[in-house]
Structure 1
Amino acid sequence: MQFLVIAKDGKDEDAMERRLATRPAHFEHARLQKKKGILIMGGALLDEHDQMIGSSLFVEIESEDALMLWLAEDPYTKANVWQSFEYHPMKIANLD
């Protein structure tokens, strides 16, 4: 199954500091997940001041339950950077 995931960061005063401190571990994890074929694409969500406030992810994984477990293992989730999730099953268009 393919999913679009919107992961929102916390809004407390330490949110950006947590994100930046965890970013190297998150990127290392993301690269491994991309090599495994689970993470298709991801990137930061920005506010009107170009500040990172969350992430968007395109993921291919077996099920919704597997997605929840997968998200729980991300360094951003473990470090409480991502504090809420919205996800939708989807099908990425083949434009080749």
Structure 2
Amino acid sequence: MKQYLITGYDFTDAGALDRRMAVRPHHLDKGAEMRKTGNYIFGGAILNNEGKMIGSVMVMQFETEEELEAWKMDEPYITQGIWESVDVKPFKVAPTS
């Protein structure tokens, strides 16, 4: 499988954090679903200096580019306008042993 580093930065308007928190349960559910299929490796929130979420980093893996694109079309933080920008780069998780 091809692995990817996905970095999403939230919109910065006054309501951005409230929107993120409203959509977050759906995003986490999607992550749990992707973990079951083996596509989700790990991820977490990017925080600002005050400790508030302003974006996300995820490491995902997919067999094909089409699967990656299908995920992007179904990811709540993308479809619900939480991430203002999304950067996807090829990535390789280092072996743990």
TM-score greater than 0.5 by the shorter chain:
yes
| Alpha-carbon RMSD | 1.3
The separation in 1 between residues aligned to 2:65 and 2:51, in whole angstroms, is 31
In structure 1, the partner of 2:50 is 49
Structure 1's consecutive aligned runs of 4 or more residues displaced over 4 angstroms after TM superposition are: none
**What is the TM-score when the length of structure 1 is the normalising length?**
0.91
SS in 1 for 2:14: coil
In structure 2, the partner of 1:80 is 81
The separation in 2 between residues aligned to 1:77 and 1:41, in whole angstroms, is 18
Q: Could you tell me the percent identity over the aligned residues? A: 34
The separation in 1 between residues aligned to 2:51 and 2:93, in whole angstroms, is 27
Give ranges in structure 2 of 5+ residues lacking alignment.
Answer: none
**What is the TM-score when the length of structure 2 is the normalising length?**
0.90
In structure 2, the partner of 1:29 is 30
Give ranges in structure 1 of 5+ residues lacking alignment.
Answer: none
The separation in 1 between residues aligned to 2:41 and 2:60, in whole angstroms, is 5
Compare 59-68 and 29-38 and name the one that shifted more: 59-68
How far residue 65 of structure 1 moved from its aligned partner, in angstroms, is 4.6
What letter corresponds to residue 44 of structure 1 in structure 2?
A: A
How far residue 67 of structure 1 moved from its aligned partner, in angstroms, is 2.0
Compare 45-54 and 71-80 and name the one that shifted more: 71-80
The separation in 2 between residues aligned to 1:13 and 1:68, in whole angstroms, is 30
SS in 2 for 1:53: strand
SS in 1 for 2:81: coil
How far residue 28 of structure 1 moved from its aligned partner, in angstroms, is 0.9
The separation in 2 between residues aligned to 1:63 and 1:54, in whole angstroms, is 25
In structure 1, the partner of 2:95 is 94
The separation in 2 between residues aligned to 1:83 and 1:68, in whole angstroms, is 17
